[in-house]
Amino acid sequence: MKQQQLKRMHLRSRFFGTSFLGGADHNKSAVCGLRGNQSEMAADWKLKCNSQWQLGAHGVPMSDSVDWKSVFKKKPFQRNLLQNPSPYGVKHTIPPPEPHRSGMPPPPNQPPQFEPIGSFSGWETSTEVLPYDTSGIPPGVVVCQLPRYSWFSLEQRVDLKSEGLWDQLLDEFQPEIVIEDWYEESQLHKSIYQLDVKLLGADGKTVIKQHTYNPEENPKSSSHTWKKVSHVFSKYGPGVRYIHFLHRLKKRSMFDQFFNTKVTDSSIIIKTSKAGVK
């Protein structure tokens, strides 16, 4: 009877690919082999990342604790981390479209336009209506209507770790963060564009580094073209986990006529270099 039971157990163990006698050792070997294969695969992903971006040559820390497969798939370096960088459907390589200045109200079957037209998915938008500017009106002069100016804001927040970056890279290496934007010289006002970019801590609120830009235009001598804005964050210190990108664009409405300032090709790019190391 015992011999029959042993025979059945032996056949069962052969069916499942293990030996009844010494099965524990065999299972341990299988687990070790699996771990070895996983280590080899992790090393392969690490090599792929190094080959793709030359990380070692730039001095980027490459700890084995990093999920290199995730890094390779998310490709956090040398790509734009902003969504929908051209919400108005135009590019800075082509001159901005000329505004329609007929001086006539829109047709009765067409409602007046008071908001920018575009595809703003990925952006959080808001409008700030400004008070009427009466500073240039002489005393006693009656004005039938003044232009109404507003700021149209577009903003995004980028989660750097979700994009594939890791703590040691951000805290110790501190790669360069390149900001670029292009705004239309719309000739609407002396102040038509503002940029505010913040590097934020893990709580998403603490400002570690900030860059603001508020140019003043000369509407009388300007040309209708694109203007480039750029900034590089470097040596910003440890703790950066988010980037908050905001630009504000001037718009104007008067006599059922609407004009606005456009932007295009906005970008946040993480370099594989840092200040002093190229």
Homologous superfamily (CATH) of 77-133+145-278 is Galactose-binding domain-like (2.60.120.260)
Distances (CA, A) of 247 to 79, 93, 103, 264: 20, 20, 29, 11
Domain boundaries defined on the chain: 2-53, 77-133+145-278
**Residue 110 confidence (pLDDT):** 55
> How far is the C-alpha of 278 from the C-alpha of 274, rounded, in Å?
7
What's this model's pTM, rounded to 2 decimal places? Answer: 0.80
* Contact (Cβ atoms closer than 8 angstroms) between residue 189 and residue 275: no
pLDDT of residue 31: 47
Q: Render each residue's pLDDT in the chain as its tens digit; 278 residues.
A: 545 555 555 444 444 444 444 555 555 554 455 455 666 788 999 999 999 999 999 999 999 999 999 999 999 999 999 999 999 999 999 999 887 655 555 555 655 556 778 889 999 999 998 877 766 667 766 666 677 889 999 999 999 999 999 999 999 999 999 999 999 998 888 999 999 999 999 999 999 999 999 999 987 766 889 999 999 999 999 999 999 999 999 998 876 677 899 999 999 999 999 876 54
In this structure, the number of other CB atoms found within 10 A of the CB of residue 128 comes to 10
Single-letter code of the amino acid located at 145 = Q
